[in-house]
Copies of this chain bind each other. A is one copy, B any other.
């Protein structure tokens, strides 16, 4: 094989892969599937897309071997084809957060309204778990909690938080986590908790990031 042909093949394949990711909805699909497998209908619902359009985006990801599907009855369950895909999303996301002025601006603006700008890292959380008396809340939908969660965390889906807030002992420090830095559940939870006078902050990443660091997780049998 000639040098030129080699380069052409390699880089055009990699560009194809990159193109498959290069769409706002498909990035959201990747992030959503990092929480576990989903049907076309569920994905379309989450992203407010038509079913046909969601299916089409999934075909693009499948064409790049980034997702795989398993048919059960007349449902197609899509999942990420492998873990490395999440690694790419992670580095892309972090580049955006750390280096893109426009994303930084959007995050600040959104979080100022919610008073949720303060966040702690996974490393800081690990320290707190060892040293302090900290309450960890998983505010994702229960289904996602059940599919795997941080061992010490309680499941309090964001839409149940308002009713269950009384359970929280006064003076208790609370750390809230959700799907990741662009998932608004944790921001909404912090807003709600602070309004009730509870000291709460966000984890700056999500459960998939915790999991990828090979930290202990609780999973169903």
Contacts and interface: CB of A to CB of B under 8 A. Distances in A.
Interface of A: 1, 3-4, 6-15, 17-19, 21-28, 48, 65, 81-82, 84-85, 87-88, 90-96, 98-103, 106-107, 109-110, 113, 182, 184
Contact of A106 (B13, B22, B94): B13
A195 to B, nearest CB: 17
- Oligomeric state, in number of copies? 2
Given A1-B113, A27-B11, A95 B85 contact: yes
B87 A99 contact: no
A24 to B, nearest CB: 4
Contact of A95 (B1, B17, B23): B17
Nearest to A47: B7
Contacts of A81: 99
B96 A17 contact: yes
For the residues of A in contact with B, the DSSP-based class is helix
A199 B7 CA distance: 26
Nearest to A107: B10
B84 A99 contact: yes
A91 B96 contact: no
A208 B48 CA distance: 41
